[in-house]
Amino acid sequence: MNEKSNSLFLSFGTDYYTEDFPLQQILKYSGLRYNSKLSKLGKYVSTEFLEALDFIDHYGKPYLEYWNTLGERIDHVRISPEHRRILDVLFSYGIVRNVITGDEDWLYHFLSGYIISDSGIFCTVTLTMQTAYALNKFGDNIVREKYLSRYLSEEKPWMGATFYTELQGGSDLGSNTTKAELVDGEWFINGPDKYFASNAGLADGAIVTAKPVPEKPGAKGISIFFVPAYLDNGVHNYRIRRLKNKIGTVAVPTGEVEMEDSVGFLLGKPAEGIYGAMDILMISRLDNAFAALGISRKALWEAFLYANSRKSFGSNIIEHPLLRRDFLEMEADLEGSTILSVKAAEAFNRSANDHFPYSEEYHYARILTHISKNMTANLSDRITRYSMEIFGGIGFLEEFPIAKFHRDAIVTPIWEGTSNIQALEMYETIVKKKSDRKLLETIRKLVNGFSKEIGVSMKLLSRTDDLEKRIKELAAMGDDAQYYLKNLLDELGHLFSSALLFDLHVHSTEEDRERTRIIAEIYYIRNISHGEIPVELLNSAKPLEWMINSR
């Protein structure tokens, strides 16, 4: 059969794990071992996966079937056989099962998200991981034996979901109206409007937030429950009102769920439900970060390959100084966000088994998660949009894949809490848990370690001192501090990323030191000193040439 689909993707056939040179540098710096399974996944994603997801996005979106042939209400979301096969392949890599069983650490899961990156299909994986994590961490022995085992099965494992959001509340879980009532030892959930229920219709069960009766006001009244999609007798346990028509993330069905006397199983202590809900949410926020990074990397890679092939005014467009500068700046920002996100994932990996009241390490993971989620989402929006610009007119056409990258990227600043929510929750960890102390201490330790080799070390230390004073000033401002929290969120992220990039440079091999120096200096100038980038840095091809050399 004549097959030309591979010509749509210039990076077709690339190993998105092994051949991603900056990622491998960062993983080596962090002491993470090479994983051959991720290499296999990287090759699969760049071939069968990308082609299939592009087709599903345009022609194979999920749809809701309300009734079966006998006239029975089934609320079944139908997906294409290829869509189902892709999910089977992804789950066969153990990116959920192997982490819960301890055969792999959390970095394996998060790096899988970076490689897969597609916000739609990876959302299904994320929601399944959250469900398995919640059952494993908060479920009693009966619930774990009956339901967790289904999620860890190697043959047709269950899929999951988290039904948190309601129309009237959004991120304000304290305003949820869904209720849970204990009757003769069994919990029944009632709520008409779980409004953004992703994976509804595919999930075999969901983590649901609800307020036990008698209700307690606010977020402290929230508890978490596991609600199976079907009861043991085959009866559907909740209804799907409709699926939403989205501009992106087509591969994951997002619906509206209604619960009427739905049977649920309490997870953890009722009074600690909000802490469990936020604990579970950390996974999706880190997944959001790594997926955003992966989309950014694929879009930038595609755009760079195109810029090296497309001629304008007598030369390849990559040779034009303005374009080269844009690529260098985006590459530096992408590597800075990647190294910070890896550190956030490592912190979560160290604290994933913590329970309320949580440890200092857990709150450190939380502050890094808020920073990482915010930085990577905004960056993904910017890089994918600019990559469309590189492609010119065809970048705006749906028949070519670059537009899909952008449509899938622009949800990442919205999902799992907007930038305002990330800033507010980050500040809550500072005020109540003093999470900034470990972060600032970590930055100082990094900078002091390379202070003799890096000329801007004193400026980085001075900036760290300034932020410490700024945090104290904000604490004295009361509610008015909220006006400035997004700036603080960005500044903490840029400072930590800059320190990490210089430390990566110092610990690089002789062969790589020039490249890592250029990246670190560009990032510092763009995001810390806000000066002009010297021509010497902008003229270098080293930071970008790996994308061509890998082909």
Distance CA 51, CA 8 (A): 9
Note the helical H segments in 187-230: none
Q: Is the dihedral of CA 533, 534, 537, 538 positive or negative?
A: positive
Give the containing element (helix H, strand E) for 430. helix 419-433
Together in a domain, 301 and 248: no
CATH of the domain at 429: 1.20.140.10
List pLDDT tens digits, range 352-381. 999 999 999 999 999 999 999 999 999 999
| Whether 253 and 281 share a structural domain | no
SS3 label, residue 399: coil
374 and 255 both lie in a single domain: no
Residue 214 lies in a domain: yes
Q: Tell me, yes or no, whether 487 and 348 share the same domain.
A: yes
- Residues 408 and 394 both lie in one domain: yes
Q: Per the domain annotation, does 156 fall within a domain?
A: no
Q: What is the pLDDT of residue 1?
A: 47
Our count of domains for the chain comes to: 3
Beta bridge partner(s), residue 65: 76
β-strand partners of 227: 206
Same domain, 290 and 361: yes
**Which among 242, 272, 302 is the end of a domain?**
272
Residues 28 and 47 both lie in one domain: yes
Low-confidence ranges of the chain (pLDDT < 50): 1
What's the token pair of residue 287? 């997944």
Q: What is the CATH number for 261? A: 2.40.110.20
Helix, coil or strand: residue 503 = helix
Tell me the residue range of the domain where 9 lies: 5-151
Close Cβ partners of 53 (under 8 Å, ≥ 6 residues apart): 86, 118, 120, 121, 251
**Encoding tokens for residue 326?**
């844009």
- Domain assignment present for 157: no
Within a domain: 514 = yes
73 and 12 in a common domain: yes
| Number of residues in the chain | 551
pLDDT tens string 173-203: 988 999 999 999 999 999 999 999 999 999 9
304 and 376 inside one domain? yes
Question: Do 303 and 424 fall within a single domain?
Answer: yes
Question: Does residue 226 form part of some domain?
Answer: yes
Q: What is the pTM of this model?
A: 0.97
